[in-house]
Amino acid sequence: MNNPLTRFAIPLLRWTVGLVVMLESLEFVFSNSVAHFLDKAGLPSWVRPVLGGSEIIAAALFLVPFTAVVGGYLLLVIFAIAALIHFLHGQFNVGALVVYAAAVIVCVVYQNSGTAEAS
């Protein structure tokens, strides 16, 4: 496919997912309402900065072309942990995490295929 948009589609997806995850992670770490919700759910206070902070670092790595694969795999692990925490607390609405994970997988496969913008 020689459509000019083809060259930019996956990098655009990577940047979109990376920035959205980064912004949501920042909100997760710094929001008082999230802290209150997690406290009511019975989670220890260290969960928010550890999970959110690692997600911020992984999203930053995901945005850099040379570290996108490592950041992508880290994001997949973090999404799985987050989904597990949701499931253990009876919250089964993890659709956004599944969509983010699918987009990250597409970007990682694209990056590994040797057609990335960094090559």
- Quote the number of domains for the chain: 1
Q: In which domain, by residue range, is 49 found?
A: 6-112
- Is 22 within the bounds of a domain? yes
Structural domain includes residue 117: no
State residue 115's pLDDT score.
57
Establish if 108 belongs to a structural domain: yes
59 in helix, strand or coil? helix
Q: Is 25 exposed, middle or buried (0-12, 13-18, 19+ CB in 10 A)?
A: buried
Note whether residue 1 is domain-resident. Answer: no
CA–CA dist 106, 51 (Å, integer): 23
In this structure, is residue 119 part of a structural domain?
Answer: no
Residue 56: pLDDT above 90? Answer: yes
Q: Express each pLDDT in 17-52 by its tens digit.
A: 999 999 999 999 999 998 898 888 888 989 999 999
The pTM (predicted TM-score) of the whole model is: 0.88
